[in-house]
Structure 1
Amino acid sequence: MALAQLINCEKLANHLNDKDLIIFDCRFSLEDTSYGEQSYQTGHIPNAVFIDLDKDLSSPVIKGKTSRHPLPDTNLLIEKLAQCGLNNDSKVVIYDNGPSPFATKMWWTLVWLGKRDNVFLLDGGFKAWQEAGLPITSDKTPVHIGNFIGQPDNSLLINANDLANKLGDDQLTLLDARALPRFRGEVEPMDPVAGHIPGATCANFMENLDSNGFFLTIPKLQERFQILINNKPIDKVIAYCGSGVSACHNLFALCLAGYPLIPLYAGSWSEWITDPKHPVAVGD
């Protein structure tokens, strides 16, 4: 079964009451960290449970040492997921507002913890659900304790030291998921240093989507990544972004396009710049 799978709103609506289904609402805003939970309380897809990027999918930030979203304590997260009702054999649907950077972060986290079967992303997210006129509720979803037992697969990660040692390899493809102005260092709204890791290629995650916010077709995604990877070995492709979130969008899209799951530099730019010895590039 493919790691990356999409589900559309109509199909989800027909399966809302399936007993083995758990829906995760992962809406979030980097500018207003209370936005996601408040939005969930205002209205969400029936039977969805809320997962918070900061509180659940990240551990506390250590200023000057970690990224803005350090990887979570796996024991705490596995306990949280079980408390949300996740079973080892659950069917899972994940959504955020629509562009899906936070939903794909949740998808990657589940894969990292070993939950690889029957995990779907809602194509178009909550925006598409609303526009389709499908039911929304403010009721809190009752949950039963699940039996999920995860085990992190750290082969899916690369750390800063190992990445730094690979920068001289001309076969390396380093995909930066941030928008081009941030990649070039022209603007930097989130971090104290602007620019990108030397040798990286700008692979703005929003370009995995069409003008309506749905994922591109598989042939179009294949064409996109063929250009970005440029015939270099797939086993030398690494993904990063600002803090290890939107890079997961590229990982999901790559898997949709038929590529294997490549490593994530989870610390990403916000961790990279905490070490003054790490080189920084600007421009293209």
Structure 2
Amino acid sequence: MKRLIETCLCMMVLLLAVQAQPAKPRSARTNLLVSTDWLAKNLTNPKVVLLHIGQTRKNYDTAHIPGARFLLYADLITSRSGVVNELPPVEKLQQLFAQVGVNDDSRVILYCDTQGLLSARTYFTLDYLGLGNQAALLDGGLEKWKAEKREVSTIAPEIKAGNFTPRLNPKIIMQREAVRDISWLSVASDQPVTLLLDARQPDGYDGSIKRPDLPLSGHIPGAVNVYWTQNYVSKEAPTLKPVAELRKMYEAAGATPDKKMVTYCWIGMMASHAYFTLKYLGYDVAMYDGSFTEWAKSEGAQVVTGKNPK
């Protein structure tokens, strides 16, 4: 009996020691980001579909990367129950991407002219549709391409319709009810399994910004804050920081590799960039698409003001 007790105690000590070990960083998904050098060498690759996402066609018509197809961002979103920037029906998205030539085996490269926000949101959409592992952002975007004095064009390419078939990935979309449960657990525990990440500017997170269209200000209880622009080397150069630097930044905010992450912002734009960056770093990540706009308008919603998560 004594030996059995000693054995059990040893096993408990070993288990606690294993649990005390910090989680190892996950491998970065380097296929989700391509350099301007890579793109320059692959512009004529028939498998590559290069998409220029814009709020209007003006910038595309003025200068775009040769071979890029234009995709109007407004076609990628809809409004639902008073919340803007929501995903439209799958059938519409399927038709939209097929029209710009996306096939089931395409390598889709995304860029925009708004510091990567529109392309990150488009990546999230493609990930939901099942093409996340075949899509990538152009690191530095059109800004870096132009700064390197690479060739630009005003000619829209001829497009052959694609055969894209969605393979939905619904687990990356977090609904309000699930976010409410995650928030409650984050407040109740010092080591939550799932962590909410607010990608808004600090004065949005702490409640200093009072939006007239929202009844509440502050952040969802338990959420930590990493402003999405901190992913970049600088605002002027929308190139992602090195992997080690990004990991250090997110882990300092509490996003350790063992945690599942759920991003949000005002309407799912900044959160899309945080979503992309965390996925690139290897995290298990989802996004609350309704974000703070939906949360603040919900009956009985709780918020926290100030710089602390709870």
Short-chain TM bin: 0.7 to 0.9
Return the offset for 1:11.
1.9
Separation of aligned partners in 1, 2:221 and 2:172: 22
Confirm or deny that 1:23 pairs with 2:45: no
Residue 165 of structure 2 corresponds to 149
Return the offset for 1:254.
1.4
Among 240, 253, 271, the alignment partner of 2:294 is 271
TM-superposition CA deviations, 1:94-123 (whole Å, max 9, x none) = 011263121111111111111133322111
TM-superposition CA deviations, 1:16-45 (whole Å, max 9, x none) = 1111111111234xxxxxxx3221122211
Return the offset for 1:229.
2.3
Separation of aligned partners in 2, 1:188 and 1:88: 45
Residue 250 of structure 2 corresponds to 225
1:1-284 aligned within 5 A:
2=29, 5-28=32-55, 36-54=56-74, 56-59=75-78, 61-62=79-80, 65-97=81-113, 99-169=115-185, 170=189, 171=192, 172-188=194-210, 191-193=213-215, 194-211=217-234, 212-229=237-254, 231=256, 233-235=258-260, 237-260=261-284, 262-284=285-307
Return the offset for 1:135.
1.5
Separation of aligned partners in 2, 1:282 and 1:88: 45
CA contact 2:32–2:133 (8 Å) conserved in 1: no
Separation of aligned partners in 1, 2:212 and 2:241: 28
TM-superposition CA deviations, 1:153-188 (whole Å, max 9, x none) = 111111112211232212142101111111122225
Higher strand share: 2
Q: Secondary structure at the match of 1:243?
A: coil
What letter matches 1:273 in structure 2?
A
What letter matches 2:280 in structure 1?
L
Separation of aligned partners in 2, 1:91 and 1:166: 35
Task: Quickly say closer, same or farther: Cα 1:174–1:4, change in 2 above 3 A.
Answer: farther
TM-superposition CA deviations, 1:232-269 (whole Å, max 9, x none) = 8413x211111112212112211222223x12111101
What letter matches 1:214 in structure 2?
T
CA contact 1:173–1:232 (8 Å) conserved in 2: no
Separation of aligned partners in 1, 2:173 and 2:88: 14
Residue 6 of structure 2 corresponds to none
Residue 33 of structure 1 corresponds to none
CA RMSD of the aligned region, Å? 2.1
What letter matches 1:267 in structure 2?
G
Q: Secondary structure at the match of 2:251?
A: helix
Between 14-23 and 163-172, report the one with greater CA deviation: 163-172
What letter matches 1:87 in structure 2?
N
Separation of aligned partners in 2, 1:240 and 1:82: 29
Return the offset for 1:77.
0.7
Count matched residues: 271
Q: Which runs of 5+ in 1 are unaligned?
A: 29-35
CA contact 1:24–1:49 (8 Å) conserved in 2: yes
Separation of aligned partners in 1, 2:205 and 2:112: 24
Return the offset for 1:143.
0.5
TM-score by length of structure 1 reads 0.88
Separation of aligned partners in 2, 1:95 and 1:14: 16
Return the offset for 1:9.
1.3
Separation of aligned partners in 1, 2:240 and 2:49: 22
TM-superposition CA deviations, 1:34-89 (whole Å, max 9, x none) = xx3221122211111222332x2212x24xx2422011211111111011100010
Q: Which runs of 5+ in 2 are unaligned?
A: 1-27
Separation of aligned partners in 2, 1:3 and 1:18: 20
TM-score by length of structure 2 reads 0.81
Q: Secondary structure at the match of 1:263?
A: strand
CA contact 2:29–2:281 (8 Å) conserved in 1: no
What letter matches 1:198 in structure 2?
P
Higher helix share: 2
